[in-house]
Amino acid sequence: MLAAELEQVGISFAIADAGHATAATPVAAGMVNPVTGRRIVKSWRIETLLPAARQAYRALEAQLEVPVWRELRMRRLFADERERGAALAKHARGELGPYVETVDESGFWIREAARVDLSRLLQAARAHWTAAGVLRAERITLADAVGRHAVVIDCRGRAAATDGTFPFVPWEFSKGELIELAVEGLDPDVILNRRHWVLPVAAGRAWVGATHEPGVMEATPSEAALVSLTTRARELLGAERTFTVVGRRAGVRVQLPDKRPVAGRHREQPGLGLINALGGKGVLWAPLLARQWVNHLTEGVPFDAEVDVRRFGRPAG
């Protein structure tokens, strides 16, 4: 997303990316959900971020000539009476509009959900920028790169959070897993959600996810997650529907205690920048962070205080 924004405004750039077999993005579901969580609240800045994300991914579709953005509806089913009571009260107060129109005894429908096909997007983007001569399939040393370029922006997710370059940021990590099902008869435009979700991804295929294991740093699928997600799939799909588990995926999310992403320049090394901590909302937040960097580079616009890396304390010593 950052490369697309830089290219659009005519800023020259290079991408160094050797690829990473255990990166979280290629295995992520890529969902956009306007109303989330057990507290049933609208996603942070959804009214602004959703139209911007839709526009950004539609533009990339046209540029790369691949479909990646798909509009969906989500059927949110109540897990307990507390969720039902919270949804009814918030809907009555108008807190969930315009994304929730009615709430019934079983749950509610969420409008303007979406999915970005991240695997397809990444494959097409790598091909595009490789052909343009700006993507180099290599790893670099940050110290060397900072000395050779006007600014180096670190977008490496977990690697950036663990190499000690930004020690003043209170990084958190959470392993997530999903399973892929072979299953027939699902509505291709509807996500089912009751604390876990079933997402149709192709004809006869659906993903079920996702687990959360705070503090776990390895990205190998586990038998415990397989059992748990298979059980959740059975609950959501019903006992009468048959399915087979045909795939498993795992990745490590990077997030922060305030549940916001991070972008901006290093406090002590202004030639080094950052985009990170996109957690489980990367497809929604990435266009915002990329645009903030472009506005900063072209017009000197300060980073939004809620995402600026400088909202955290100075490094020790």
CA within 13 Å, CB half, 201 = 24
Following CA atoms 53, 58, 62, 68 in sequence, which dihedral angle do they give, to the nearest 10 degrees?
Answer: 90
pTM across the whole model: 0.93
Last residue in a domain, options 255, 280, 311: 255
101 and 35 in a common domain: yes
The pLDDT value recorded for residue 144 is 86
6 belongs to a structural domain:
no
182 belongs to a structural domain:
yes
Residue 307 · residue 263 · CB < 8 Å: yes
Which among 317, 296, 299, 316 has a CA at the least distance from the CA of 308? 296
181 and 247 in a common domain: yes
Which among 145, 146, 169 has a CA at the least distance from the CA of 158? 169
183 and 110 in a common domain: no
The pLDDT value recorded for residue 78 is 97
Last residue in a domain, options 238, 255, 272: 255
**Counting Cβ atoms within 10 Å, is residue 116 exposed (0-12), middle (13-18) or buried (19+)?**
buried
CA angle 206, 250, 123 (to 5 degrees): 75
310 belongs to a structural domain:
no
Question: What is the tally of structural domains in the chain?
Answer: 2
112 and 39 in a common domain: yes
CA angle 255, 261, 266 (to 5 degrees): 100
Give the CATH number, domain containing residue 235: 3.30.9.10
132 belongs to a structural domain:
no
Where residue 292 falls (left for φ over 0; alpha for ψ -120 to 50; beta otherwise) is: alpha
35 and 111 in a common domain: yes
85 belongs to a structural domain:
yes
pLDDT tens across the length of the chain (317 residues): 999 999 999 999 999 998 776 788 888 999 999 999 999 999 999 999 999 999 999 999 999 999 999 999 999 999 999 999 999 999 999 999 999 989 999 999 999 999 999 999 999 999 999 999 999 998 888 888 998 999 999 999 999 999 999 999 999 999 999 999 999 999 999 999 999 999 999 999 999 999 999 999 999 999 999 999 999 999 999 999 999 999 999 999 999 999 999 999 998 999 999 999 999 999 999 999 999 999 999 999 999 999 999 999 764 44
The pLDDT value recorded for residue 314 is 64
In Å, how far from its chain's centre is CA 191? 17
Q: Domain range spanning residue 232?
A: 172-255
Residue 309 · residue 293 · CB < 8 Å: no
74 belongs to a structural domain:
yes
In Å, how far from its chain's centre is CA 45? 15
CA–CA separation, 304 and 166 (whole Å) = 19
Last residue in a domain, options 78, 100, 116: 116
296 belongs to a structural domain:
no
Radius of gyration of the chain (CA): 20
By DSSP bridging, strand 69-77 and strand 190-194 are parallel
CB atoms within 10 A of CB 290: 22
Residue 179 · residue 229 · CB < 8 Å: yes
CA–CA separation, 84 and 107 (whole Å) = 7
The pLDDT value recorded for residue 122 is 93
56 belongs to a structural domain:
yes
The pLDDT value recorded for residue 228 is 97
3-state secondary structure the chain: CHHHHHHHHCCCCCEECCCCCCCCHHHCCCEECCEECCCCEECCCHHHHHHHHHHHHHHHHHHHCCCCEEEEEEEEECCCHHHHHHHHHHHHCCCCCCCEEEECCCEEEEEEEEEECHHHHHHHHHHHHHHCCCEECCCCCHHHHHHHCCCEEECCCHHHHHCCCCCCCCCEEEEEEEEEEEECCCCCCEEEEECEEEEEEECCEEEEECCCEECCCCCCCCHHHHHHHHHHHHHHHCCCCCEEEEEEEEEEEEECCCCCCEEEECCCCCCEEEEECCCCCHHHHHHHHHHHHHHHHHHCCCCCCCCEHHHCCCCCC
